[in-house]
Amino acid sequence: MRLLLILSAAFVLAAVPAAAQTWNEIGDAGDLPASAQLPQGTGTFNQINGTLLSGGDADMYCIHIPNPGVFVATTCGGTTADTQLWLFDPTGLGVTHDDDDPGGCGLQSSITGAFVPGPGDYLLAVSQYNWDPYDAAGNLIWQNTPFNFERAPDGPGAPGPVASWGTSGFATGPYSIIMTGVHFCPSTPVEHATWGSIKGLYR
């Protein structure tokens, strides 16, 4: 009987999902690699909560993607704002972007690991429409359209890292980015000179 109770308790505990780890934006997260916010914690986490400010705002966070095949980040169900999601490598080079969710949830955004080249640290950014990343020469890193497709960088500034943001910012207010397949970054984003060696550790 005691063994049965122990086994039953173990089954119940195994059926209870691990508590979700959430990061709440501190102050205003920066919008460039040098000022990106570094969420504190260990292991997996699946939600970032923050606020988009008026006048144009992008919030950037370091995340670690151990397996691009299961990575998803979305604002669907996490805000009523018209958002955009962006993913960069630690040097600021663009990886993937979505404006309006391809699955049809509306003006919110979703990105996946479809264009993520491999495991490692990345910079996840959220902005309101139409607050977009530019290279150092003032060129768009992503074209403005199409709106409802996840895309690798396709603008004239695609070869360069993000250096500024601009155009216009309409939506403001709180957001939640809900994530799957994400861990806390073990360290701050690395410099360009060492990014190749960091990638090599995960191959």
Domain boundaries, the chain: 21-187
Model confidence over 71-115: pLDDT tens digits? 999 999 999 999 999 999 999 999 999 999 999 899 999 999 999
| Res 194 pLDDT > 70 | no
Q: How confident is the model at residue 12 (pLDDT cuts 50, 70, 90)?
A: very low
DSSP codes joined into one string, 58-113: EEEEEEEES-GGG-EEE-TTT-SS-EEEEEE-TTSBEEEEESS-TTS-SS--EEES
Does pLDDT of 2 surpass 70?
Answer: no
Mean pLDDT within 13-22: 53
pLDDT at 55: 87
Residue 13 has pLDDT above 80, yes or no: no
Q: Are 41 and 184 in contact (CB under 8 A)?
A: yes
The rounded distance, in Å, linking the Cα atoms of 74 and 97 is 11
Fold assignment, 21-187: Jelly Rolls (2.60.120)
Whether 16 has a pLDDT exceeding 70, the answer reads no
Dihedral sign, Cα of residue 186, residue 188, residue 189, residue 191: negative
Asked if residue 129 lies in contact with residue 84, where contact means CB atoms within 8 angstroms, the answer is yes
CA-wise closest residue to 127 among 81, 163, 72: 81
Residue type, 161: P
Looking at per-residue pLDDT, the higher value among 104 and 160 belongs to 160
How confident is residue 170, by pLDDT bands cut at 50, 70 and 90?
confident
Tell me the whole-structure pTM to 2 decimals: 0.83
Averaged pLDDT for residues 155-167:
97
Mean pLDDT across the chain:
86
Please list the helix, strand and coil fractions of the chain in percent, rounded to the nearest 5, in that order: 15, 35, 55
